[in-house]
Amino acid sequence: MRTGRTARAGQYVALLAYLVFLAFPFLWLISTAFKPPRELGSLHPTWIPRDPTLANFRQAFDEQPLLHAALNSLIAALGAALVAVLLATPMAYVMARHRTRLARAATGWVIVSQAFPLVLVIIPLFLVLKNLRLINSMPGLITVYVVWALPFALWMLVGYVRAVPPELEEAAAVDGAGRLRTLVSVTAPLLAPGIVATAMFAFVTAWNEFFFALVLLKTPEKQTLPVILTHFIGAEGVADLGPLAAAAFLATLPSLVVFALIQRRITGGMLTGAVKN
Amino acid sequence: MTSVTEAQKAVRPAPGGKERRGVMDRGAWFLVLPALIPILVLSVGPLLYGIALSLTDAQSGRTRPTQWIGTLNFTDLLHDTLFWESFRIGLVWAVGVTVPQFLLALGLALLLNEDLRLRWLARALAIVPWAMPEVVVGVMWRLVYNPDAGILNETIRDLGLGDGRDWLSGLGTALPAVVVVGIWAGLPTTTVALLAGLQNTPRELHEAAAVDGAGAWRRFRTVTWPALRPVALSITALNLIWNFNSFALVYVLTSGGPGGRTRLPMLFAYEEAFRYGQFGYAAAMGCVMVALISILLALFLVGRLRGGDEA
């Protein structure tokens, strides 16, 4: 379609405004992370640190158990991703291939579960986990994360299963392959990229999660990165800006990398999800 | 799946509806249960337990046994002006974030659907807010809003618009300031969803309309919007609900202050439950929130159905 020159110029101005709006807080975070205390205290801050330093990173690691928190986050996120995908894949397969009442109910649950205020679920879970002595423990947190990730994992996986033509499975069946054989040797390989994308999405969600971690993890040596980050902000809301920025920047990198890898697949999943349901 | 009979083949609907109807066999149940049991036990279960708790005087760290008190928590809630104030703030926040965000995202999606040079950069950058932990988004904007060392006030000073202010601590500025952060944080998701919807719009239809002499606005109204409507409604409904229930962002930015001006319902309920130990009362708040959200969702679904089944 032809677009007039003024219209084109307007489009570029709008695009530029969008890029600035998207980028400027992030650039400011990076800039702050590399500034020495003297520049952070100045009343006229600059975009580019005049005297860039890594001192904030060192101080951040000194002040809070960042490395340990990163390890906790990693365990929680990996555990949640693996278990969620392992449980969700078989069910998603059935939901995609059989149009039963259960499949409909499960799809409905995905939407409904998004509507809960988490506080209504966390209070009972807190009481149950407390009785099981799973407060302040990784297994407890992972359990909560798995259940929390399941609906969305199901939703994504159903889309991926639907993209695998049933004709392929039927052909294998005609060739005499049993059901399990068909699933393992025909369906699973075609589904693998979708399963990986779903697992990575569950990983990022758990890595970024804050509310459950805040409620369930009591001691600093058990806490995940997002919770530890809030310790940099003091009781009166006064923050040591440099180390805070440094730690925040580090906490973002892993999810940024994973997300960059799967972003296209998620978009595809959202598209099929939004259109087919 | 092992036997596909001719009869089944015959009743199978035309392309588009490939699912098989009928009862699930035992093998299928075997596949379903590993996910179904955790969902029922750890999701549906706590939900019902939570509703039950809302009818009790459950508190943390108390020796006296918990008692049924009927709807007392709910009648208390009715008179709790702080709760209704937080509810009002929650609605202002949810609508204040969702509506501008949708309009911006719609414009952006239309923009990114065009052949523009910097499109790749916009798409690449869009990952940043999307992938960031909410806590980090909050931290980041605290740095931007910082009264002395923040870039916002410095820009205001550079432009000669005054000295700037302490945005997050001002009674009048705190809520608008956090709303801007909310818009920023969810803009990419909404944009990408709408963009995905746009790319589903048949291009030929657009071109045919252009050949027929339809202007840009008319093409949008008659071709683009009808195709986009289902996606737009779904994402808006979800955004309203997510925003109403959000917690981490505002917790990090203001902790609900100043003077409760940004105390969203979730922050209020969190404090009641985990700072003051009022489990029963907080559960009742959760119930009221679910009820009102359900009404909202129902209204949206009705709107979607009335628009016909374009999907």
Give CA angle at B229 (B224, B231), nearest 5°: 110
Distance from CA of B231 to the nearest CA of A (A): 6
pLDDT of residue B292: 83
For the residues A267-276, what does the mean pLDDT come to? 51
Max mean pLDDT among A246-250, A256-260, A272-276 falls in A246-250
- The closest of A84, A89, A92, A86 to A201, measured between CA atoms, is A84
For the residues A245-255, what does the mean pLDDT come to? 93
* CB burial readout B77-88, b (16+ within 10 A) else e: beebeebeebbe
pLDDT of residue B3: 42
Over 50: is that where the pLDDT of A275 sits? Answer: no
Length of chain A: 277
Answer yes or no: are the C-beta atoms of A270 and B292 closer than 8 Å. no
Q: Which two tokens stand for residue A85?
A: 């995908």
pTM of structure: 0.87
Over 70: is that where the pLDDT of A271 sits? Answer: no
Answer yes or no: are the C-beta atoms of A88 and A109 closer than 8 Å. no
| Separation between Cα atoms, residue A164 and residue A195, nearest integer Å | 13
Residue with tokens 């798995």: A146
Distance from CA of B23 to the nearest CA of A (A): 7
B42 with A43: Cβ contact below 8 A: no
Q: Could you report the per-residue pLDDT of B14-59, keeping only the tens digit for each?
A: 444 444 444 567 778 888 888 888 888 888 888 899 999 999 998 8
Q: Could you report the per-residue pLDDT of A121-159, keeping only the tens digit for each?
A: 899 999 999 989 999 999 999 999 998 899 889 988 988
Q: Where are the alpha helices (DSSP H) in chain B?
A: 6-11, 26-39, 45-53, 72-78, 81-112, 119-125, 127-131, 134-145, 151-158, 174-198, 203-211, 216-219, 225-244, 248-253, 265-270, 279-306
pLDDT of residue A10: 87
Which residues in chain B touch residue A165, judged by CB atoms under 8 angstroms apart?
A: 18
Q: Could you tell me what percent of chain B has a pLDDT over 90?
A: 39
A256 with B149: Cβ contact below 8 A: no
Amino acid at B128: V
Residue of B nearest to A270 (CA): B193
Per-residue pLDDT band at A171 (split at 50, 70, 90): confident
Which residues in chain B touch residue A93, judged by CB atoms under 8 angstroms apart?
A: 31
Q: Where are the alpha helices (DSSP H) in B203-278?
A: 203-211, 216-219, 225-244, 248-253, 265-270
Lowest-confidence pick of A32-41, B196-205, B268-277:
B196-205
| C-beta atoms surrounding B171 within 10 Å | 10
Note the ipTM here.
Answer: 0.89
- The closest of B158, B151, B135 to A35, measured between CA atoms, is B151
| B114 φ/ψ sector (left φ>0, alpha ψ -120 to 50, else beta) | beta
Which residues in chain A touch residue B30, judged by CB atoms under 8 angstroms apart?
A: 90
Mean pLDDT of chain B: 84
Which residues in chain B touch residue A211, judged by CB atoms under 8 angstroms apart?
A: 247-248, 270
For the residues A81-96, what does the mean pLDDT come to? 92
Q: Provide the CA A246 distance to its chain's centre, in angstroms.
A: 21
At A233, give phi and psi (nearest 5°).
-95, 115
pLDDT of residue B139: 94
How many CA atoms lie within 13 Å of A123's alpha carbon, on the beta-carbon side? 36
Lowest-confidence pick of A263-267, A270-274, B290-294:
A270-274
Q: Could you report the per-residue pLDDT of A208-243, keeping only the tens digit for each?
A: 999 999 999 999 999 999 999 999 887 666 678 889
